[in-house]
Amino acid sequence: MLQENRKNPELQKEFVITEIMYMSKTPMNKIEWIQKLREEENLPSEGYEQLLRSPWSGEEEEFLYTNAREVRIKNYGHSIYMRGLIEFTNYCRNDCYYCGIRKSNCHITRYRLTKEEILACCEQGYRIGYRTFVLQGGEDGYFTDERICDIVGEIRHRYPDCAITLSIGERAKESYQAFFDAGANRYLLRQETSNSFHYGKLHPHTMSMEHRQQCLRDLKEIGFQTGCGIMVGSPEQKTEYIVEDLMFMKELNPHMIGIGPFIPHQDTCFASEPAGTLEDTLHLLGILRLMFPRVLLPATTALGSIHPRGREMGVLAGANIVMPNISPLEVREKYRLYDGKIGIGEEAVRSYQNLCRRMEAIGYEVQMGRGDYPRNSDEK
Residues 6 or more apart whose CB falls under 8 angstroms from that of 377 comprise none
Query: Binding ligand 5AD by CB under 6 A: which of 92, 152, 216, 302?
Result: 302
Using CB positions, name the residue nearest to ligand 5AD: 338
Q: Shortest approach of ligand 5AD to residue 31 CB, angstroms?
A: 31
With contact defined as beta carbons under 8 Å apart, do 131 and 161 qualify? yes
What DSSP string describes 157-169?
Answer: HH-TTSEEEEE--
Of residues 162 and 231, the one with the C-beta less far from ligand 5AD: 231
Residues 6 or more apart whose CB falls under 8 angstroms from that of 231 comprise 98, 190, 192, 237, 259, 260, 261, 262, 276, 302
Q: Shortest approach of ligand 5AD to residue 338 CB, angstroms?
A: 4
The 79-108 contact track toward ligand 5AD, x by CB under 6 A, reads: -------------------xx---------
Q: Shortest approach of ligand 5AD to residue 162 CB, angstroms?
A: 21
Q: Shortest approach of ligand 5AD to residue 216 CB, angstroms?
A: 12
Give the separation between CA 366 and CA 121, rounded to whole angstroms.
20
Give the separation between CA 29 and CA 32, rounded to whole angstroms.
5
H/E element, 150: helix 145-158
Q: Shortest approach of ligand 5AD to residue 47 CB, angstroms?
A: 25
Q: Please, is 231 exposed, middle or buried when counting C-beta atoms within 10 Å of its C-beta (0-12, 13-18, 19+)?
A: buried
Q: Shortest approach of ligand 5AD to residue 273 CB, angstroms?
A: 9
Of residues 79 and 193, the one with the C-beta less far from ligand 5AD: 193
Radius of gyration of the chain (CA): 22
Query: Binding ligand 5AD by CB under 6 A: which of 64, 337, 355, 359?
Result: 337
Of residues 65 and 338, the one with the C-beta less far from ligand 5AD: 338
Residue 189 Cα distances to 53, 169, 199, angstroms: 26, 6, 15
Q: Shortest approach of ligand 5AD to residue 30 CB, angstroms?
A: 27
Residue 117 Cα distances to 86, 150, 315, angstroms: 10, 14, 32
Of residues 76 and 241, the one with the C-beta less far from ligand 5AD: 241
Of residues 38 and 265, the one with the C-beta less far from ligand 5AD: 265
Binding positions for ligand 5AD, 246-265, rule CB under 6 A: 260, 262-263, 265
Residue 264: asked if its preceding bond is cis (omega within 30°), the reply is no
Give the separation between CA 262 and CA 178, rounded to whole angstroms.
32
Query: Binding ligand 5AD by CB under 6 A: which of 88, 179, 338, 352?
Result: 338
Q: Shortest approach of ligand 5AD to residue 257 CB, angstroms?
A: 12
Of residues 212 and 283, the one with the C-beta less far from ligand 5AD: 212
134, β-bridge pairs: 85, 165
The 260-299 contact track toward ligand 5AD, x by CB under 6 A, reads: x-xx-x----------------------------------
Q: By CB under 6 A, how many residues form the interface with ligand 5AD?
A: 12
The 61-80 contact track toward ligand 5AD, x by CB under 6 A, reads: --------------------
Q: Shortest approach of ligand 5AD to residue 329 CB, angstroms?
A: 20
Of residues 118 and 231, the one with the C-beta less far from ligand 5AD: 231
| Beta-strand pair 186-188/79-82 | unpaired
How far apart, in Å, do the first and last CA atoms of the chain sit?
51
Angle made by CA atoms 320, 215, 143, in degrees to the nearest 5 = 90
Binding positions for ligand 5AD, 212-241, rule CB under 6 A: 231
Q: Shortest approach of ligand 5AD to residue 113 CB, angstroms?
A: 17
| Beta-strand pair 256-261/321-322 | unpaired
Tell me the residue ranges of DSSP E strands in the chain: 79-82, 84-89, 132-137, 163-167, 186-188, 225-232, 256-261, 321-322, 365-367
Interacting residues with ligand 5AD (CB under 6 A):
98-99, 190, 192, 231, 260, 262-263, 265, 302, 337-338
